[in-house]
Amino acid sequence: MSSNNPARTISERFSTEAKSYRNYIGGRFAEPSASQIDVLNPATGAVVGRVPESTAQEVDAAVRAAKAAQPSWEQLPAIERAGHLRAISAKLRRHRTELADIIVREQGKIRSLAQVEVDFTADYIDYMAEWARRLEGEVLTSDRPKETMLLLRKPIGVVAGILPWNFPFFLIARKMAPALVTGNTIVIKPSEETPINAFVFAELVAETDLPAGVFNLVGGKGPGAGTALVKHPDVDLVTFTGSVATGTRIMQMAAENLTRVNLELGGKAPAIVLADADLDLAAKAIHASRVINTGQVCNCAERLYVEEPVHDALIAKLKVLFEQTRWGDPSETDDLDMGPLINRAALDKVEAAVRKATEEGARIVTGGNVTGQDKGHHFEPTLIVGATAAMEIMRRETFGPVLPVQAVKNLDEAIALANDTEYGLTSSIYTSNINSALRASRELKFGETYINRENFEAMQGFHAGRRKSGIGGADGKHGLYEFTETHVIYIQGQ
């Protein structure tokens, strides 16, 4: 157990008092940082807690700790590394309700979804731990007599994980678990919007026997701590989830040291509804996908293409569902479909996108307004028809509870419009015709396609974006391999 773990009771750790947290570096909670970031509840504006605004020196200390710990961590049998991961997931399960409360308070997620996030995170860590006995190399056939060729998979070294705010807790595991089971060590920098869940995660890690320096956490903003981490010469892989703009910047900075990058970026997922679809199923799934996490999900349906014969019927069904959506402050009420947007800038962005769409000729069927402005950043669930391919609302990620709809003549047109985008993460299609579904699977140019359902990717899948939605991917065997590099051994026999 780590030595200078601040002696805090469970109720103190999870109390609703705004507290100041400390970086977790080399198995110790560091001295308080000179500068702190106030973390706000997006539903109320109240300060939830304070985290360090780390300097380049503090980031350097974390990377050095990770580097020092890596060789002996790599030497541990993988099954022992997995044991450490399982000890962490057990801690998360023990405190599942309190952890969900934190996510509700700092991210504005509704409680049921926050609970799913915590439980999925624990399951994800266990899933990655299972790979300990399954990581395999290869024996290759040599061109030379008496030679044996081995391809080994090895850890990359020190991983930097830079996180967004929309699934802040799960993203810790998505970076940490595959990194650690394959023998890397890690430094995590959570989003400055939602860091507290990560600092509490570190406190739970500190209560396990994980060797010092294997998991490190630094608070801070993008241009400060984030930049210092990406540019650090001892970081071997930057795994980043966030916006295209930041991903581009990170790739540029990583190029200075030729540091590897794994980028999970934004999306503008098209949903296609054909005339033979089950319209009730499609309406329910697309509505849920649009309001989940208040529309702040990278692989939610962000634009809808509907075959003309069923356009009006589908819109009527969607209108009912959009108008039934319950929203409010999730820290006060459980019975909600969505909470606030993350901050004022997000609210302004969504409002501007809707205004621009109407100026360009689209029509609001329902919603379209900022609401509850004095308390939280709420925007009404908004359904828009008459959208066209040229409109910005069909081209740029909105990241809010807004669904623009375009009528199409047929599947040909729908696929062409869906593919006409700079993103390439997720897509979906609703049809009862197997041939249409198969054709969409062949021709949609996205990392994932959902047929007759919307997002929630599986941990054994491979969540990867094409074009500007990213480089590399996460989850499953292929996601695990992103944290390894190969080493070919030639053994010349006599």
Which residue among 49, 340, 401, 470 contacts ligand NAD (CB under 6 A)? 470
Which residue among 58, 236, 264, 351 contacts ligand NAD (CB under 6 A)? 264
For the CB of residue 137, give the shortest distance to ligand NAD in the complex, in Å.
28
Instruction: Find the binding residues for ligand NAD in span 192-251 (CB under 6 A).
Output: 192, 221-223, 226-227, 230, 241-243, 246, 249-250
Q: Which is closer to ligand NAD, CB of 37 or CB of 99?
A: 37
Q: Which of 203, 264, 454, 457 does the annotation list as catalytic?
A: 264
Which residue among 27, 49, 267, 367 contacts ligand NAD (CB under 6 A)? 267
Q: Which is closer to ligand NAD, CB of 250 or CB of 384?
A: 250
Instruction: Find the binding residues for ligand NAD in span 352-411 (CB under 6 A).
Output: 397, 399
Per DSSP bridges, beta strands 47-52 and 269-273 are unpaired
Considering only the stretches 102-110, 136-144, 159-167, 306-314, report the one whose residues sit in contact with ligand NAD under the rule CB under 6 A.
159-167
Active site residue 264: yes
Considering only the stretches 131-139, 158-166, 317-325, 400-408, report the one whose residues sit in contact with ligand NAD under the rule CB under 6 A.
158-166
Per DSSP bridges, beta strands 47-52 and 19-20 are parallel
**Strand ranges, E, within 308-457:** 363-366, 370-371, 378-379, 382-385, 402-408, 426-430, 448-451
With a CB cutoff of 8 Å and minimum separation 6, the contacts of 417 are: 270, 305, 389, 406, 408
For the CB of residue 261, give the shortest distance to ligand NAD in the complex, in Å.
11
Task: Give which of 162, 430, 448 is closest to 299, Cα–Cα.
Answer: 448
361, 388 contact by CB (below 8 A): yes
Q: Which is closer to ligand NAD, CB of 163 or CB of 315?
A: 163
Per DSSP bridges, beta strands 185-189 and 158-162 are parallel
Rule CB under 6 A: say whether 191 interacts with ligand NAD: yes
CA torsion through residues 77, 459, 295, 349, sign: positive
Active site residue 138: no
What string marks each residue from 289 to 318 as x (binds ligand NAD by CB under 6 A) or -? Answer: ---------x--------------------
Rounded CA gap, 11 and 3, in Å?
A: 21
Reduced to 3 states, what is the DSSP secondary structure of residue 478? helix
Q: Which is closer to ligand NAD, CB of 166 or CB of 216?
A: 166
- Helix and strand numbers, DSSP H then E, in the chain: 15, 25
For the CB of residue 440, give the shortest distance to ligand NAD in the complex, in Å.
21
For the CB of residue 459, give the shortest distance to ligand NAD in the complex, in Å.
13
| C-alpha atoms less than 13 angstroms from C-alpha of 192 in its C-beta half-sphere | 15
Dihedral pair phi/psi, residue 29, rounded to 5°: -85, 120
For the CB of residue 361, give the shortest distance to ligand NAD in the complex, in Å.
26
Instruction: Find the binding residues for ligand NAD in span 423-442 (CB under 6 A).
Output: 425
For the CB of residue 37, give the shortest distance to ligand NAD in the complex, in Å.
10
Kindly list the catalytic residues: 264, 298
- Residues at the contact surface with ligand NAD, assessed by CB under 6 A: 162-167, 189, 191-192, 221-223, 226-227, 230, 241-243, 246, 249-250, 264-267, 298, 397, 399, 425, 463, 465, 470
